[in-house]
Amino acid sequence: MAFQQFETVQKLSKDNVDAALKAFGAVSKGVQTVAAEIGDYSKKSFETGTATIEKLVAVKSLDKAFEVQGEYLKASYEAAVAQATKLGEIYASVAKEAYKPYESLFAKAAPVATK
């Protein structure tokens, strides 16, 4: 009887470690995805800013300068909102992937807990 309990505890411990490693792998992959996404966004943002400065240097009138600046602000705002939405989706996906390994453990534990 005691040996069976020991085996059960040992199996649960192994299952917990496996689930934790899988969850860590999902989070690690998610962090890499987020870092790549932020890097791409930063690069695009820098390129857009540089192009806008070049346009501003070339303008001949104040009205045209305000127009260029307005276009830049609008495009920057839209890009920031799109980026925030995309990152939110990535974070939600990472959370779901990190939780998946624990679903089976919780399913196994639920009948035991009700006894």
Query: For the segment 35-64, what is each residue's pLDDT rounded down to a tens digit?
Result: 999 999 999 999 999 999 999 999 999 999
**Higher confidence at residue 100 or residue 74?**
74
Do the domain assignments include residue 111?
A: no
Band (pLDDT 50/70/90 cuts) for residue 82 is very high
Which residue in 16, 83, 13, 7 sits closest to 44, CA to CA?
A: 83
Q: Structure tokens of 113?
A: 């807990």
Do the domain assignments include residue 30?
A: no
Do the domain assignments include residue 45?
A: yes
Do the domain assignments include residue 75?
A: yes
Coil/strand/helix, residue 78: helix
Q: What is the 8-class DSSP label of residue 61?
A: S
Q: 3-state SS of the chain: helix, strand, coil percent to 5? A: 95, 0, 5
pLDDT for 101 equals 85
Q: Structure tokens of 76?
A: 């920057």
| Domain, as residue range, for 48 | 36-100
Do the domain assignments include residue 88?
A: yes
pLDDT for 20 equals 85
Coil/strand/helix, residue 1: coil
Q: How many domains are there within the chain?
A: 1
Element (H, E) at 115: none
Cα dihedral 107, 109, 112, 113 sign: negative
Do the domain assignments include residue 105?
A: no
Do the domain assignments include residue 108?
A: no
Band (pLDDT 50/70/90 cuts) for residue 32 is very high
Do the domain assignments include residue 41?
A: yes
